[in-house]
Amino acid sequence: MCGIVGYVGTSNGVPIVLEGLQRLEYRGYDSSGLAVAAPSGLKVHKAKGRVSDLKAALPKRIKGSPAIGHTRWATHGAPTDGNAHPHVDFSGRFAVVHNGIIENAPQIRERLLADGITPQSETDTELVAHLIGQAAVDSDDPVDALRAALRRVEGAYGLAVLDAKHPDRIVVARLGSPIVLGLGDREMYVASDVGAIVRHTRQVVHLEDGEIALLEPEGFTTSTLDARPVQKVSERVDMDDEHFDLGEHDHFLRKEIGEQPEAVERTLSGRLDERFSTIKLGGLNLEPNELRSFKRVYILGCGSAYYSGEVGAQLIEELARNSLAASAVSLAEASGAPRHVARGLLLEGVGLVEKGDLDGATATLRRAATLAESLGTLPLLWRSRALLGALTTLSSPDESARALASARTCVLQVAEDLPEDIRADWLARPDVLALLEG
Instruction: Domain count for the chain, please give it.
Output: 2
Peptide bond into 66 cis (omega under 30): yes
Structural domain includes residue 409: yes
**pLDDT of residue 6 exceeding 90:** yes
Tens-place pLDDT, residues 51-89: 999 999 999 889 999 999 999 988 888 889 999 999 999
CB 202 within 8 A of CB 244: no
398 lies in the same domain as 296 = yes
Contacts of residue 159, Cβ cutoff 8 Å, sequence gap at least 6: 96, 97, 98, 99, 128, 146, 171, 172, 173, 174, 179
CA 124 to chain centre: 14
343 lies in the same domain as 219 = no
CA distance 268 to 185: 34
Structural domain includes residue 345: yes
- The pLDDT > 70 percentage for the chain reads 75
Structural domain includes residue 154: yes
CB 4 within 8 A of CB 158: yes
Which pLDDT value is given to residue 338?
Answer: 58
Structural domain includes residue 59: yes
Quick one: average pLDDT of 388-412?
A: 55
Mean model confidence pLDDT for the chain: 82
117 lies in the same domain as 57 = yes
305 lies in the same domain as 223 = no
Question: Which of 379-418 are b and which e, b meaning 16 or more Cβ less than 10 Å from the residue's Cβ?
Answer: ebbbbbbbbbbbbebbeeeebeeebbebbbbbbeebbeeb
73 lies in the same domain as 200 = yes
Element (H, E) at 310: helix 304-319
219 lies in the same domain as 148 = yes
193 lies in the same domain as 307 = no
- Among 214, 229, 244, residue at a domain's last position: 244
Domain extent, residue 427, equals: 290-437
CA distance 201 to 186: 12
In which band, very low, low, confident or very high, does the pLDDT at 40 lie, cut at 50, 70 and 90? confident
Which pLDDT value is given to residue 335?
Answer: 42
381 lies in the same domain as 304 = yes
Structural domain includes residue 224: yes
- The pLDDT > 90 percentage for the chain reads 43
Which pLDDT value is given to residue 87?
Answer: 97
Among the ranges given (38-42, 169-173, 428-432), the one the predictor scored with the smallest mean pLDDT: 428-432
Which pLDDT value is given to residue 46?
Answer: 96
pTM value is 0.65
Question: In CATH, what number is assigned to the domain containing residue 184?
Answer: 3.60.20.10
CA distance 32 to 70: 5
Which pLDDT value is given to residue 400?
Answer: 40
